[in-house]
Amino acid sequence: MDAISSRFMRDYGWLLILLVAAALVPVFSQSNYYISIGINALIIVCLAVSFDLVVGRVGALSFAQPVFYGFGMYVAALLAVNLEMGFWWQVIAAMAGGMLLALVVGIPSFRLNLHAFAIGTLGFATIAHLIATNWMEVTQGPMCVAGVPRATIPLGFMEIAPWKLPQQYYFILTIAAMVVVASVAINRRKLGLAFQAVRDDPVLAASNGFFPTSLRLTAFAVAAAFSAVAGVFAAQFQTVVCPDSFSTATTVTLLIVAFIGGRASLRGVLTASIIFTVLPQVLRIADEWRMVIFGLLLLVIVLSAPDGIEHLFQRVERWRKGRREGGKASGVSAQPFAADTIADITPLGAEERIDGGHLRISGLSKAFAGVKAVDDLSLEVRPGELVGLIGPNGSGKSTTLDCISGITKPDAGRVELDGIDITGMSSSALAKRGLVRTFQSTRVYETLTVRQNLAVALHGRQSIMAEWASYLSPQSESRSFRERADHLIETLNLKHVEHRKAGELSYGQRKLVQFAASVISPPRVLLLDEPLAGVNPTIINLFMRHIAANHGAGLTIILVEHNLGVVVQLCERLVVLEQGRKLADGNPHDVMGTPSVQEAYLGR
Amino acid sequence: MDLLFTQLLNGLTAGAEYALVAAGLALLFGILQIVNFAHGEFYMLAAFILYVLLAVVGLPYYAAAPLTVLLMACAGVLFYAIVISRVISRPWQIQLISTLALSIVMINLAIVLSGPTPRYVESPLNNVILDLGSVRISAQRVLVLLGTIVSFAALYLGLKYTRTGKAMRAVAQNREAAAVVGIGVPVIGLVTTVVAASFAGLAGALIAPLYAVGPTMAVLVNIKAFAAVIVGGFGNVKGAIVAAFVIGLLEAASTTLISTEYTDAIVFGGMILILLFRPNGLFGKAVRVG
Amino acid sequence: MAVEKEPLLELRDVHAGYGELSILKGVSFGVGGGTVTSVIGANGAGKSTLLKTIFGMLKVREGDVSFEGRSIAALGTVKRLKAGIAIVPQGRCNFPQMTIRENLEMGAYTRSDDGIEADLQHMVDQFPILREKLHLLAGDMSGGQQQMLEMAMALMVRPRVLLLDEPSLGLSPMMIDEVFTSIRSLAEVNGMAIIMVEQNAVQALKISDLGVVIELGRVSATGTGPEMLNDPDIRKAYLGLPVI
């Protein structure tokens, strides 16, 4: 019990302290001036937290956040003035409308890439401002929607009429606290991990079975709803709603707050929100030089503490921790270890059977800039087969894997998995069907720990229903996951780094993590793209044993690899590619003996 | 016919304005991977320098214009020393905030020093009207177009054939490889910043006489130049210049044919349409994965 | 084949690292002209860091690196290149949108003499594959050909010491043989000292005069190529070979 409460205090204590401090502001300051600064700061907190959800958590720069805020204000004002609708209706309309608007803007712009998304939201902001200014019949343009009636807020058992400034302050404080709690909750659920995965490496996330666009859209829509609600509340207090609520000044403040605060750091963002709404007010004494000094201060802060407020927090924490633990040496180096100390490697814990998939490729072609990388390739891999795909550099091996795994769309040809045409399916959909690949360039989620890398990979590979149904469950590890993960981590010699971020690991260790993630949930077809390139012989041994174990359990595997010794030893069948065409196909000894293979590949 | 020609000319002038700013942005982004939010303000600074040289110092335009470019090159050195050199190896967020801060400082300094009222820069060429049969065109506009074309040609040749130009391209293509062959990346950073600032200087020197000069004159220009850089294929200088002219002409066309109020909306709509069909921009190359 | 000479490049108790992370914790060894040295060790032991430190991309925090008897620890990469130390790092290290010719010319960026064109011709004689593609873009070549190009670019500096990080990575067996043969002949014919980091340790040691094992940032063993290949501990831990 004690442990739980102390952990709660460590995780949420600073939020409580901040909340209490914020609640005391009107007590100590009777001046309306300070309270209205406080209200501004709290509105910025709401917007900054939602902005951070999009920019910090899923890594998409959005210029649209103030628009959703403004949208919420206009919805509230217009519904109240024209239709005399009550407060909760305004909230519902603004949230639903905001999310709908987010989907309308987000779907076409996310479909492309993040740069297009940034421009799309910038264009959206510009267009929204023009509409608010020019659509006189509805928004009354620059004359503003005036006389918004102050709503009373029915809570069922009582009604609140926050007509005085301190009451308004507490009200907006409640909203800000709710937004913050919602953001913390998202971060601590599986959804938070998935967001982080998509931000770190969308291509890898897709190959783990996630649909990156859906996750980004989710973040964008939720953030839109947060901002719109803040707008509804703001409309009650301001009573006049003008096009300037979209102004670029708000976007600038949000950018500053989000980045000075530190990417995806709530405490940083909160601190920065307060500093950068209070600072301009304090600088009022400098009169016309106010914004010049503000800019200069900002410049000095960025140049002297470029890692943001979050970094300062972390330094303080490390310092405190260092004092507690008395300066333990840090830095992990790989230990040389002999693979044969590991007794037996089973694919995933128990003596499990894997139902390997049946892959049939026919007439596959793909050209880049006129050069044929893969040229009319046909290949059948039967369930449980381990096929080595070899060939000189540039012979089309990786492109073949890209076409099979949905990373690239082939120009012609057909790929079938168990008789079902999977040509042109996204890598996300294929991963869910159990067709999994690793990358030659070695992809891992760099800001996630080794264990989290495995957890995310497992999560994405579930069916869509299961994936989305469990997004709001906590990140704690299930027993079955723990067993699988422990086994893989143990047998791949990753125990000493299991809680390190994957970005801090060496090249060979990343290859191991990538491999572990690919088999954490038993795949049906596994495509391995040069898993052994650049790793030392002990790790090669380790990989060979794991590949053999998975093969033995019935997994269908295509292994692209240059290390011929390994390929010949492991594979029952070799396929040789040259210039995108199949040069030979058969058992290793026959294939290696073929004169054309010797000439093309071995130069003998 | 006359109206069409006038609008075409307006479009090209606006395009030249965006292109001169966008070229600098694309150089900074393409070679140094720096997102410079203050680049528009460099254009504003150049316009004010020209104004001071003409109206306060009393130089003739022919002397003031080149001097403006020269002073902006010096401003580029300062910009590199104070900001760029410190953020060049930092994440883009830091670059964005620091240049944003610089832009806030510059705009507000201009407001404090000159007040919000726009000023007008007199160039003798404004009053020289060339009569080309049925159409008339001011000599200043001719100078703008000529100056833009000549400066871009010089940039192209410089990047293609000079030793420093090649080194700039090398840094753009692979910074690590550039360091490995012994290219001093900081020196290239300085040169790139100076060239980018000089282009902003050229924009001020050539175009300020056509439009009103004021503290916020460059805010929209900068946003459109950014759009041009993205649509042109991130950091592709040629693409950014072409896209900037497309934006200028699109604006002129929509002002004439559709509506003045929604011009910006149409321009951004057009940009999004282009990106829908060419996700990597007009000249960007598709990236292969794996 | 190992001829005793006074070291061309010598490391004495070198410490280096990134930020708060210390990777090399006292590395000492020397190499002579005309020799090939293989650095082997587990992933993350600090092999690449060692090469970067010799080239000057990382600062020497403690200890000293000397070249031809003079300390170069304080010199930057450009001065080291001019002195004759070149590197081919791991990963793609060319200019993909420049032609092969331009890439080779960029390789000689630090030189201002008029022997560049002659060296370029010499280089395409040595790597015939490059001659055929002199006017094609580097990015359009296959991985193995790019690897060749990068080696040629480094040689355009006329180095005395050549540092190679994983020269065989991602190459087909035929190419690997070719690369190792040319590494050996480069050392013997041009008299340069070649230091390479290689996971393909057995093949690398076969052509090496000296083997250096790095473990946890320190040198744990040194020896000639054959000595290393026959050492039971090294065979087991680093070469993946059965103990004889």
Chain A positions in Cβ-Cβ contact with residue B94 (cut-off 8 Å): 259, 302, 306
Cβ pair C237:A508 closer than 8 A? no
| Comparison of pLDDT for A595 and B143, the residue scoring more | B143
State the nearest Cα–Cα gap between A430 and chain C, in angstroms: 27
So what's the pLDDT on residue A599? 73
State the nearest Cα–Cα gap between A143 and chain B, in angstroms: 17
Helix (H) or strand (E) segment spanning residue B147: helix B139-161
For the stretch B36-60, pLDDT in tens is: 889 999 999 999 999 999 989 989 9
Cβ pair B169:C98 closer than 8 A? yes
Search chain B and give the residue with CA nearest C153.
B181
Residue B283 maps to a domain: no
State the nearest Cα–Cα gap between C151 and chain B, in angstroms: 11
Burial class (CB in 10 A: 0-12, 13-18, 19+), A145: buried
State the nearest Cα–Cα gap between C85 and chain A, in angstroms: 24
Residue B272 maps to a domain: yes
Residue B87 maps to a domain: yes
Cβ pair A541:C215 closer than 8 A? no
Burial class (CB in 10 A: 0-12, 13-18, 19+), B273: exposed
d(CA C195, CA B27): 38
B286 and chain C in contact, CB less than 8 A: no
Chain C positions in Cβ-Cβ contact with residue A507 (cut-off 8 Å): 43-44
- The answer to whether residues A139 and A73 touch, using CB atoms and an 8 Å cutoff, is no
Choose among C42, C143, C241: nearest Cβ to A393: C143
d(CA C64, CA C24): 12
| Comparison of pLDDT for A501 and B271, the residue scoring more | A501
In this predicted structure, the answer to whether residue B18 has a pLDDT above a threshold of 90 is yes
Cβ count near A95 (within 10 Å): 22
In this predicted structure, the answer to whether residue B1 has a pLDDT above a threshold of 60 is no
- Chains interfacing with C (3 or more CB pairs < 8 Å): A, B
What mean pLDDT do residues C143-148 have? 81
Which residues, other chains included, contact A509 with Cβ-Cβ below 8 Å and sequence gap of 6+? A334, A494, A497, C43, C44
d(CA A128, CA A105): 11
Cβ pair A299:B105 closer than 8 A? yes
Choose among B97, B108, B269: nearest Cβ to A302: B97
* Mean pLDDT estimate for chain C: 86
So what's the pLDDT on residue A345? 55
The tokens of A486 are what?
Answer: 């422990």
Among the residues of A330-408, which ranges form H helices?
Answer: 397-404
Search chain A and give the residue with CA nearest B223.
A122
C106 and chain B in contact, CB less than 8 A: yes
C153 and chain B in contact, CB less than 8 A: yes
Cβ pair A530:C143 closer than 8 A? no
Which residues, other chains included, contact A204 with Cβ-Cβ below 8 Å and sequence gap of 6+? A197, A439, A443, A444, A445
DSSP A315-338: HHHHHHHHHHHT-------PPP--
Chain A positions in Cβ-Cβ contact with residue C175 (cut-off 8 Å): 392-393
So what's the pLDDT on residue C240? 67
The tokens of A539 are what?
Answer: 């790790």
d(CA A302, CA A305): 5
Choose among B167, B180, B183: nearest Cβ to C93: B180
Residue B245 maps to a domain: yes
Cβ pair B276:A134 closer than 8 A? no
Choose among C91, C97, C106: nearest Cβ to B181: C106
B212 and chain C in contact, CB less than 8 A: no
Cβ pair B276:A108 closer than 8 A? yes
pLDDT along chain A (604 residues), means of 10: 62 77 78 81 87 86 87 88 81 93 86 74 80 78 76 70 76 87 87 91 90 92 92 81 74 79 77 81 77 84 75 78 55 42 48 81 84 87 91 82 90 90 90 90 88 90 85 81 86 86 84 90 90 80 87 90 84 88 86 78 58
Cβ pair C174:A537 closer than 8 A? no
| Comparison of pLDDT for C68 and A533, the residue scoring more | C68
**How do strand C193-197 and strand C161-165 relate by DSSP bridges?**
parallel
Cβ pair C98:B173 closer than 8 A? yes
* Percent of chain A clearing pLDDT 70 (strictly above): 89
- E-strand ranges in A58-180 read 153-154, 159-160
Which ipTM did the prediction report? 0.85
Cβ pair B181:C78 closer than 8 A? no
Residue B229 maps to a domain: yes
d(CA A152, CA A100): 27
Cβ pair A603:C177 closer than 8 A? yes
C178 and chain B in contact, CB less than 8 A: no
Choose among B83, B269, B279: nearest Cβ to A116: B279
Cβ pair B271:A123 closer than 8 A? yes
The full set of domains in chain A, from first to last, is 29-315 (1.10.3470), 359-443+514-602 (3.40.50.300)
So what's the pLDDT on residue B78? 95
State the nearest Cα–Cα gap between B60 and chain A, in angstroms: 32
So what's the pLDDT on residue C244? 59
Chain A positions in Cβ-Cβ contact with residue B97 (cut-off 8 Å): 255-256, 259-260, 298, 302
Which residues of C, range 31-60, sit inside 8 Å of B by Cβ?
55, 57
In this predicted structure, the answer to whether residue B191 has a pLDDT above a threshold of 90 is yes
Count CB pairs under 8 A between chains B and C. Answer: 58
Range of the domain at B225: 1-277
- Chains interfacing with A (3 or more CB pairs < 8 Å): B, C
Chain C positions in Cβ-Cβ contact with residue A368 (cut-off 8 Å): none
Cβ contacts of A599-603, under 8 Å, gap ≥ 24: A600/A391, A600/A392, A600/A576, A601/A390, A601/A391, A601/A392, A601/A576, A601/C172, A601/C173, A601/C174, A602/C173, A602/C174, A603/C174, A603/C177, A603/C178
- The answer to whether residues A253 and A245 touch, using CB atoms and an 8 Å cutoff, is no
DSSP collapsed to 3 states, A64-95: CHHHHHHHHHHHHHHHHHHHCCCHHHHHHHHH
Chain A positions in Cβ-Cβ contact with residue B103 (cut-off 8 Å): 295
Which range is least confidently modeled, A47-61, A133-147, B147-161, C3-17? A133-147
Search chain A and give the residue with CA nearest C202.
A537
So what's the pLDDT on residue A7? 63
Chain B positions in Cβ-Cβ contact with residue C77 (cut-off 8 Å): 179-180, 182
d(CA A37, CA A275): 11
For the stretch B86-105, pLDDT in tens is: 888 887 778 888 888 899 89
Helix (H) or strand (E) segment spanning residue A486: helix A479-491
**CATH number of domain containing B76:** 1.10.3470
Burial class (CB in 10 A: 0-12, 13-18, 19+), C129: middle
Residue B255 maps to a domain: yes
Domain count, chain B: 1
Choose among A288, A295, A398: nearest Cβ to B105: A295
Cβ pair A529:B290 closer than 8 A? yes
Choose among A119, A263, A291: nearest Cβ to B108: A291
Chain A positions in Cβ-Cβ contact with residue C170 (cut-off 8 Å): 393, 440, 530, 533-534, 562
What mean pLDDT do residues B75-81 have? 95
Search chain B and give the residue with CA nearest A288.
B112
Burial class (CB in 10 A: 0-12, 13-18, 19+), A316: exposed
d(CA C24, CA C14): 7
Residue B285 maps to a domain: no
Interface test with B, best of A51, A61, A104, A115 (most B CBs within 10 A): A115
For the stretch C166-219, pLDDT in tens is: 888 777 777 788 889 889 988 998 889 999 998 888 889 999 999 999 888 889
For the stretch A132-143, pLDDT in tens is: 887 777 777 777
So what's the pLDDT on residue C3? 46
Chain B positions in Cβ-Cβ contact with residue C18 (cut-off 8 Å): none
Task: Report residue C12's pLDDT band, with 50, 70 and 90 as the boundaries.
Answer: very high
So what's the pLDDT on residue A340? 42
Cβ count near A565 (within 10 Å): 12
Search chain B and give the residue with CA nearest A248.
B219
Interface test with C, best of A372, A442, A505, A536 (most C CBs within 10 A): A536
In this predicted structure, the answer to whether residue B226 has a pLDDT above a threshold of 80 is yes
B180 and chain C in contact, CB less than 8 A: yes
Cβ pair C43:A334 closer than 8 A? yes
State the nearest Cα–Cα gap between B175 and chain C, in angstroms: 9
B170 and chain C in contact, CB less than 8 A: yes
Task: Report residue B157's pLDDT band, with 50, 70 and 90 as the boundaries.
Answer: very high
Residue B158 maps to a domain: yes
